[in-house]
Structure 1
Amino acid sequence: MASGGSAIRGTRVGSGPMGEQDHGHQTRRRAVSYWDAEGNEAVRYFSADVADGDLPELIDHPKSGLPAGRDKQNPPASGSNQPFKTHLAYVKERRTEDEAEELLDEALQKLRDRRGQP
């Protein structure tokens, strides 16, 4: 049996003839650099038609997570990172100790009633 191959093996469906000229035209774009407080640069590409006033002033740097601005000499200061809060911490912000005790007593009473315990 002769080993023949499929004509479409290894190609994308609908890819057409090889070559980027068949996939439309690419719009003009420009590179905009952003720097974070550690001096890291991040480059974002925007359409050449976008006005300077429409470009974002700040982005989050993808590596450091710090805010990054377009002024290399005066990058934005890094904000204070707040520690991760647990669900219990958020609940404690909303409830007083008395409210928590009352809710706990209600829940325990419902559980006891369901189980048939006094």
Structure 2
Amino acid sequence: MASGSAIRGSRVGAGPMGEAERGDSAPRFWVSYWCANGHETKPSFSQEANAEAPETWDCPRCGFPAGQDKANPPSRTRNEPYKTHLAYVKERRSDEDGQAILDEALAALRARRGS
């Protein structure tokens, strides 16, 4: 005997209802962006937001920045290598400054020890 379902293989809320269920979609405009690898990206923006499209957009394919000028895309960003704490200290202080700080710290340590 068949089950009591009048419509087999469907459920309440299944399938797209279109504009009647979700309401009207906002008017949109599309802007083309090109990255240094020549990939084109076309994100859409709402016309009602009264906002201008950003100058750059991250390429979803390669991750490089993309611009609106196809002939002159923005250059690739250069990633700085990871710096240690010591590298940052050496940028701020010279070897002579470091030696003076070390001598001062050793003198204070020796004074505490009483030697």
**What's the TM-score, normalizing by structure 1?**
0.57
Instruction: Give the secondary-structure state (helix, strand or coil) at the position aligned to 1:89.
Output: helix
Moved over 6 A (4+): none
Q: Among all aligned residue pairs of Structure 1 and Structure 2, give the percentage whose two residues are the same amino acid.
A: 45
- Unaligned stretches of 5+ residues in structure 1: 1-16
- In structure 2, the CA distance between the partners of 1:70 and 1:109, relative to structure 1 (3 Å rule), is same
What is the match of residue 88 of structure 2?
Answer: 90
Q: Superposition RMSD on alpha carbons, in Å? A: 3.4
What is the match of residue 12 of structure 1?
Answer: none
- Unaligned stretches of 5+ residues in structure 2: 1-11
Larger radius of gyration: 2
- The amino acid of 1:43's aligned partner reads K
- In structure 2, the CA distance between the partners of 1:107 and 1:62, relative to structure 1 (3 Å rule), is farther
Instruction: Give the secondary-structure state (helix, strand or coil) at the position aligned to 2:31.
Output: strand
CA contact (8 A) 2:26 2:48 kept: no
**What's the TM-score, normalizing by structure 2?**
0.59
